Structure 1
Amino acid sequence: MAVLRRLLQIFLLFCLCPPSQALELPERDGAAARPAAAAAVAPLVFANRTLFVFRAPLTGYSPAERAEGAHKRLLAVLAKPGAPAPSTHPIAEGTQVLLGGAQLFLVTPADINPLAGDTTDSVAAEAAATLAKALLEQREQGSLHYLLIAGALCLAATLTWMLVLHGLGRLHRWAAAWSMRTIGRRLGEVKLKNVRVLDAEHYVGFMRRLVFLLVWALRLMASYLWAAFVLGKVPYTRSWGERLEGYLLDVAGGVAQSVLGALPGLLLVLVIAVLARLVVLTAASFFQRVESGELQFGWLDRDTAGPTRRIANVVVWLFALAMAYPYLPGAQTAAFQGVSVLVGLMLSIGASSIVGQGASGLILMYARTLRKGEYVRIGDSEGTVAELGLFNVSLRTGLGEEVTLPNAWVLGQTSKNYSRAYPGTGFVLDTTVTIGYTTPWRQVHAMLELAAGRTEDIAAAPKPYVMQLALSDFYVEYRLVAYASVRTPRKRADVLNQLHQHIVDVFNEYGVQIMSPHYQRDTPEPQVVPKEQWHLAPAAPPPDGAAARDAA
C-alpha cells in the first residue's frame, strides 16, 4: 500500500498542476525574458478559487495592487453580518463586480481577450459566478453537519476504492493462472504432423504482462475517480476535484467524438469490403465453372481460368483498398501517409524481380506453352510438369528428381513438349541408333519396330515409326519414334529403359551389330552376341514364360 500511496501522490500532483503553472516557472540563466505584460498579471484568489486575473494597470495602479485592493474589499464586505450576493453592473469604463452592493473590482477592456470573443460583461458574469461558488464553499466549511456528511461519503468512497483495488489484485492473480492454464493447453493442441509448433511459455508470458498492464490501468483509473470524488466533497479542494472531473470528461468526450466521427467512414469501408467480397465470390463461381469444363467462354479455358481468377481477385481487392483508403481513421495524417509512401517505395524497389517472374508466369499460362502433367524438355531439364506457378515451374524427372525453374528463365529457353503430338494423356519418346551401311535399312526398320512392339507401355496406335536422320561418313543414323500412353512421371524413364533393352535383344537375335564403325577394313566375324550368351553372369535368366515369349 505504501507504493500505491506514493504513486497516487505523484499522479495527483501531475493532474493538479496545469500546464499554465509550468509555463510560469522562473526563467533559467540565459533564457529569454518574458514580456513585462505577461509577468505583470495578478490573480484574485479566494477560498482556493481564482475569481479573476488582472492583466492591465488602472489609474496608476498595477495589476498586483488591483488584486490586493479587491481582496481587501472582499474581506471587508464578508466581515459585515448577512449573506451578500455577488452581482455585476456595466459602466462606461467596463463592468463592475459587486458583492452586497459594494464594488469589489472593475473589469476593463484591457483585462480581457477580444479575439477569443470575451466581453467585459461576460468575464464579469463568470467572475461573479465563481465568487458565488467560493462563498458557498466557505459557508460549507463552517457547517459541522455538511462536514460530517462529506466525511462519511469520503470514508465510504475510500472503502469502496480499497475494495476495488483488492478485487483487482485477486483478478490479476486469477487471470495469470487462467492464462497459464488455458492458453498453455490450447497452444499445446496446435500441432503439425503430431509435432507441437508453438511454444506456450512465450504466449503465456506475454499474456501475463498484458494482464498486468490492464490491471494497473484499472487501478489508476479507480484511484483517479476516487481522488476526484473525495476532493470534490471537501469545500477547500472542490476546485481541484472539478478540474480532475473536467479533464476526465474532456478526454472521454474527445474519444467519443473521435469514435463517432470515424463511424461514417468505417461504415463506408465496411460497405466497400462487403461489395468487394461479393464480387470475388461471384467471379470465383464463374471461374470454377470454366475450370470444370461446364462453361466455355472464348479465350478463357481450363488452363487460364485459374490464373485469371487470381488476377481478378487481386485487382478487385486493390481497387477496394484504393476506394476505402480515404475513409480509414488517420488516413489523412502525415504519419499514415509517410508509412504508405515508405511501403510503396519498398515494394517498387524490392519487387522488381518478383514482378518480372510473375509477368513471365502469366505469359506462360496464357500462351498455353506448358500445362500441368505434360512431359517437356526445357534447356537441359526434362520431366513432367508438376506445378505451373506464378513465379516458377516445377519439373519431376523420371529419376525421382524435382527441378524448379524460374519463369523468366523458362520463357527465354527453347521448350520441347512431348505430350502434344497426339491427343490424350501420354508422351512421345524417341531413341537413336547408328548402323553401318552393310546392314539393309529395311531390316533395321523392322527390328526397331519389333523392339517397340515388345515394349509393354508403348501404344499400338499411333504406330511407332523409324526415320533415317542422316547418312554420315561411316554409318546411317536411325531414329525410332513411339508414343507411350502412361500417366505417371517416372514411367517414361522405365519405358525408355525397356525399349533400349528390347532393341539390344532384337539386334542380337538377328545378328546385326549396333555400332558406329570407324574402320579401315571389316572384322573377320560379325560382332554379335549369341543367344546362348545373352544371360552371362551376373545377369539372371528370365522365367520360362518370359524366355518362351522372347524366343517367339
Structure 2
Amino acid sequence: MKNNRFLSILFICLLLAVGVSAQNTVKTSVPDTIIIPVVPDSDTIGIARVRNELAAAKLNEANMRMEIELLKYQADAADSLKQAKQMQRIDSLRALTPGVPVVVTGDTLFYLYAKRGGYTPQQRAQMDADAIEELGKRFNLNPDSVYIESTDIVTDIMYGNKVIVSFTDQDGLWANCSRDQLAAKERQVIVQKLKELKEEHSAWQLGKRILYFILVLAGQYLLFWLTSWLYRKLKVRIQKLKDTKLKPISIQNYQLLDTQKQVNLLIFLANIGRYVVMLLQLLITVPLLFSIFPQTKDLAYTIFSYIWNPVKSIFWGIVEYIPNLFTIIIIYYAVKYLVKGLRYLATEIDSGHLKITGFYPDWALPTFHIFRFLLYAFMIAMIYPYLPGADSDIFKGISVFVGLIVSLGSSTVIGNIMAGLVITYMRPFKLGDRIKLNDTTGNVIEKTALVTRIKTPKNELVTIPNSFIMSSHTVNYSSSARTYGLIIHTEVSIGYDVPWRKVHQLLIDSALATEGVSADPEPFVLETSLQDWYPVYQINAYIKEADKLTQIHSDLLQNIQDKFAEADVEIMSPHYMAMRDGNESTIPKEDIKPQTTGTGSTKPA
C-alpha cells in the first residue's frame, strides 16, 4: 500500500512538471510559431487574433485533460483501495458465511452471498429460482435467446424483456471475479437448466405423463379387483372349514365359540384384511399419481411425507427407546422375583412351617400383600421416567389430573383400606370365626382391604365396610371357644315348690346330655333372681364349637324340657297359678319316657 501511494504521488509530480514546462514552452514559442505580419489590412489583424485565441484554447484543453486524467487516476486508486479492503473482508467472512443456493426443481444452480436493493440473499435466491422455473414452463421457450445486459452498477441475465438474474459488484467479489464474468458463467448454467425444463414440459413429455397416469389408474383398478377376488376365494375356503377342521372352543362346560361363530369371526377378519390391503395400495398409488406431473410433484412428496414421517418417527422412536426398554425389563423382573421370594416366606409362615416370635401366622398373607403393593408402587416410580413421553407436559398434566381425581374421590376408600390394615394387625377375628358385629351374627367368609363379608346362620351375606367395623364393637365367639371354651346359657323359672338342688341337678343333666357341651369344665347353674311367683335359674355350659352355637343352644332347650318332664317338674314359664282344682298338669304325657320299677316292670310316670 505504501509503495502504491508513493508511486501515485511521484506520478502526480511528474504530471505537474510536464504541465509547467508545457506552459513555458507555449508562452515562449507562441511568438515563434505565430508570425503576424504587420499589414495595414483589418482582416489580417482579425485572423491573427483568432489564431491566438485558438492556440490558447488548445492549451486550456490540454490542461483540462491533464486534470481529468489526474482525477480519474485518483478515483481509480481510491476504488482499488476500497476493493482491496472489501476483498480482505470477504475473504475473512467466506469460511463463516454459507451461500444461499438457487434451487430449481431440486438442482442447485449457483449461490448468492450479498444483498441487493433491500433484498436478502434468501429472498434473491427464491425470486431467481421462481423466475427460472416460471420461464422453463413456457412452450415457446428458446433457451439460447438468454442474453446479458450490463450497466454501470449491475449486470442482468435476461430473456426478452424479463430479468432472470441480476449480479452486482459484491456478487463478483464473492466469486473472485467481475460481475460480467460471473454473469457469463452463470448464463451457461441457466441456459442448460432451461433446456432441461423445456424438455420436461414439452408436449411429448405431457403425453407420456398422461399415459403413465392412465396406466397407474388401470393398475390400481386391477389390484382392487384382484384383492376382492382373493377375498371371495378366501371366504369360500373359510366356509368350508366349518365342516372339516373347525371345532367348538369351550372353557370347562361353557361353549365360547361354536363353528359358525368361528366362521363369522374369520370372515370378518378377512374383510378387515382386505380393506387394509386396499388402503395400503391407495397410500402408494396416490403419491405416485401426483408425482407424474411436475405441477403436482411437491404435493406428492407432501402426501408421501404424511405417511412416511409418522412411520419413520415411530420406527426411530422404537429404536431409541430400546435402552430404556431393557432398563424397564430389568426393573420388572427384579421386583417380580423379589415378590415371589416374599410370597414363599409368607406361605411358609402362614402354614406354620416357619415361626417368628411375636409374628402371628395370620399376619403373613396380609403383610405380604402390603409389601407387594409397596414394591409394585416402587417399581412404577422407577419405571415412570423411562416411559415414552414421560417428560412431555401433556403426560405430566394427565398424571396430575389423575392424581387429583383419585385424591378427591378416594377419601372413603383410603379410610377403608387403613381400617383394613388396622383390623388385620389387631386380630379381632379371622376367616371362619363366628362373630357378632352390632346386630349381625355370623361367620367371616371374606376379608379384603375394603370390606368384610359375614354369612349369617340364615345364609345371609352381609357386606360391612372396614371403617364401620373400626367404629363398632365386635364379639368373637370362635376365639373364646378355642381359648377358654365359650359359655352358652339360658334361663328357666321353676316354682318354689321344687327344691333348688333338684332343679340345679336337672339343669346340669340337661346340659351334659346335649351334644357339643363339654363335660370339663362342668356345667354350672346360677340363680339370677327370686320373683314373686318363682325363682329364675340360669344354666351355663362350655362349648368348643362356636359355629354350632345355635344348634347346641336349641338342643339344650330341648333336653331341659325332656329332663324336667321326666322328673315330673313343671317349668313355670310362662306363668302358671299354683292352684289345683283337679285340672291336669301342663307336663306333656306323650313325651314322658316309661320308668322302670324295681321288679323290672314299667309304669307311666
- Fold conserved between structures, TM > 0.5: yes
Candidates 315, 330, 336, aligned match of 2:395 = 336
Hey, what's the Cα distance between the residues in 2 that align with 1:134 and 1:241? 23
Which residue number corresponds to residue 354 of structure 1? Answer: 413
Structure 1 residue 450: Cα displacement: 0.4
Deviations 1:464-505 (A, max 9, x none): 232334456665443322234448x4x432222111011012
Which residue number corresponds to residue 105 of structure 1? Answer: 165
Contact 2:530 2:536 in 1 (8 A): yes
Hey, what's the Cα distance between the residues in 2 that align with 1:180 and 1:311? 53
Deviations 1:248-304 (A, max 9, x none): 544433222222233333332222222222222111111111111111123433322
Hey, what's the Cα distance between the residues in 1 that align with 2:487 and 2:257? 46
Q: Structure 1 residues 416 and 70, CA, compared in 2 at 3 Å: closer, same or farther?
A: closer
TM alignment of 1:530-541, pairs within 5 A:
530=587, 532-534=589-591
**Bigger fraction of residues in helix:** 2
Which residue number corresponds to residue 429 of structure 2? Answer: 370
Deviations 1:94-130 (A, max 9, x none): 999999xxx952489999xxxxxxxxxxxxx999999
Deviations 1:372-404 (A, max 9, x none): 222222222223323333333333333443333
TM alignment of 1:61-460, pairs within 5 A:
79-80=143-144, 105-106=165-166, 135-136=195-196, 138-139=198-199, 161-170=220-229, 189=249, 194=254, 208=268, 215-216=274-275, 218-229=277-288, 232=291, 241-242=300-301, 244-245=303-304, 248-423=307-482, 428-460=487-519
1:495 aligns with 2:552: yes
2:429 aligned counterpart, secondary structure: coil
Q: How many residues align?
A: 465
2:388 aligned counterpart, secondary structure: coil
Q: Structure 1 residues 150 and 496, CA, compared in 2 at 3 Å: closer, same or farther?
A: same
Q: Structure 1 residues 70 and 408, CA, compared in 2 at 3 Å: closer, same or farther?
A: closer
1:80 aligned counterpart, secondary structure: helix
Contact 1:474 1:517 in 2 (8 A): no
Which residue number corresponds to residue 15 of structure 1? Answer: none
| Aligned amino acid, residue 457 of structure 1 | G
Hey, what's the Cα distance between the residues in 1 that align with 2:406 and 2:266? 32
Hey, what's the Cα distance between the residues in 2 that align with 1:478 and 1:372? 36
Note the residue ranges of structure 2 that are not aligned, 5 or more in a row: 1-101, 147-152, 172-184, 595-600
Hey, what's the Cα distance between the residues in 2 that align with 1:164 and 1:109? 60
Contact 1:137 1:235 in 2 (8 A): no
Structure 1 residue 447: Cα displacement: 0.9
Which residue number corresponds to residue 467 of structure 1? Answer: 526
| Aligned amino acid, residue 516 of structure 2 | D
Contact 1:419 1:425 in 2 (8 A): no
**More deviation in 297-306 or 441-450?**
297-306
Contact 1:468 1:476 in 2 (8 A): yes
**More deviation in 460-469 or 364-373?**
460-469
Q: Structure 1 residues 381 and 249, CA, compared in 2 at 3 Å: closer, same or farther?
A: closer
Contact 1:47 1:236 in 2 (8 A): no
Note the residue ranges of structure 1 that are not aligned, 5 or more in a row: 1-43, 85-92, 112-124, 536-540, 543-547
**More deviation in 464-473 or 287-296?**
464-473
1:405 aligned counterpart, secondary structure: strand
Hey, what's the Cα distance between the residues in 2 that align with 1:127 and 1:334? 54
Structure 1 residue 421: Cα displacement: 3.4
Structure 1 residue 425: Cα displacement: 11
Larger Rg: 2
Sequence identity, in percent? 24
2:579 aligned counterpart, secondary structure: coil
CA RMSD for the aligned pairs? 5.7
| Aligned amino acid, residue 343 of structure 1 | V
**More deviation in 238-247 or 173-182?**
173-182
Contact 2:481 2:545 in 1 (8 A): no
Hey, what's the Cα distance between the residues in 1 that align with 2:190 and 2:456? 92
**More deviation in 305-314 or 66-75?**
66-75
1:421 aligned counterpart, secondary structure: helix
Contact 1:433 1:478 in 2 (8 A): yes
2:431 aligned counterpart, secondary structure: coil
**TM-score between the two structures when normalised by the length of structure 2:** 0.60
Q: Structure 1 residues 372 and 224, CA, compared in 2 at 3 Å: closer, same or farther?
A: closer
